[in-house]
Amino acid sequence: MIENINWYPGHMKKTRALITENLKLVDAVVEVIDARIPVSSRNPVIDEITAGKPRVIAFNKSDLSDGYANEAWMKKLSGEGVRPVQMNCVSGSGVKALFSELEKMKAEKNSKKASNRPFRMMIVGVPNVGKSSLINRMTGKKSTQVGDKPGVTRGKQWLTLKNGMQLLDTPGILWPKFEDPKVGLDLAFCGSIKDEILDTSDLAFELIKVLMKDYADLITARYKLDELGEEPLEVMDAIALKRGFIMSGKRIDYERTGRTILDEFRAGKIGRVTLERPAE
């Protein structure tokens, strides 16, 4: 198993300071998480430094996650005092529901103390969960740079929405060390950790191990396998043979196979998958 994944460049330390410094200026926090990994994509540092602020959970990429698991998570998160909204920030699905929750927060705030200044929120989350796509949907224009690699958004940006609300975008922030190796793996599977620091074939091997437990049928269907082998390496070899990823000397191209598996998982081509479910 891949262990001790550590990814905490200097800009993430600055991001923590940025969030802490500007938290007093906002009325609410919108935390964007990846619906496929609702636990691993919630940075405990964000929990710590935003404690006490009203919060909406943008349950993003819910179109890529298991529908039954989505409903279970909605119920659990609602019971924890936050307001979850299922979203697909690329298509814009869920944006109206998010605005509705923010309008409720604004009304609650004004009922306690009237204010002439705009209602302000902060957008936070780990890298590559869809913050920039969400902001572009909320503003109705391309306001922030969007990329499929973590670490694209840099610096502090205040943006004004069409309804007069203001939001602060922040760069994605991971934490210095993952106490549970599974958290690091989950983040790496979903692309929140740069692939350059990991071995692609090893990471894909670990993903196959996970998928074989709960989503064996999706692997079989996607890669047109007659049957699923008992070992992850058998499955990886079978996928490589089906796709023709063979090098000279009849050697399997594990790098290309691994990259394909990861790319297709992240794009939802394998199927709707949730890697973490709420405790029963």
What pLDDT does residue 145 have? 41
Output the CA–CA distances (angstroms, integers) from residue 216 to 7, 225, 230, in the order listed. Answer: 31, 11, 11
What pLDDT does residue 219 have? 97
Q: What is the CA radius of gyration of the chain?
A: 20
Rounded to a whole number, what is the distance in angstroms from the first to the last CA of the chain? 26
Strands (E), the chain: 28-34, 55-60, 83-86, 120-124, 157-160, 166-169, 246-247, 251-252
What pLDDT does residue 3 have? 54
Encode the chain (280 residues) as per-residue pLDDT tens digits. 555 555 455 555 666 777 777 888 899 999 999 999 999 998 777 777 777 788 999 999 999 999 999 999 999 998 888 899 999 999 999 999 999 999 999 998 888 877 778 899 988 888 889 988 998 898 887 554 434 444 434 456 688 888 889 998 777 666 555 667 888 899 999 998 877 778 899 999 999 999 999 999 999 999 999 888 889 999 999 999 999 999 999 999 999 999 999 999 999 999 999 999 997 5
Sign of CA dihedral 212, 216, 218, 219: positive
What pLDDT does residue 212 have? 95
| 158, β-bridge pairs | 168
**Domains located in the chain, CATH noted:** 10-169 (3.40.50.300), 199-266 (1.10.1580.10)
What pLDDT does residue 279 have? 78
- Give the separation between CA 202 and CA 255, rounded to whole angstroms: 9
What pLDDT does residue 84 have? 94
What pLDDT does residue 114 have? 74
Is the pTM higher than 0.75? yes
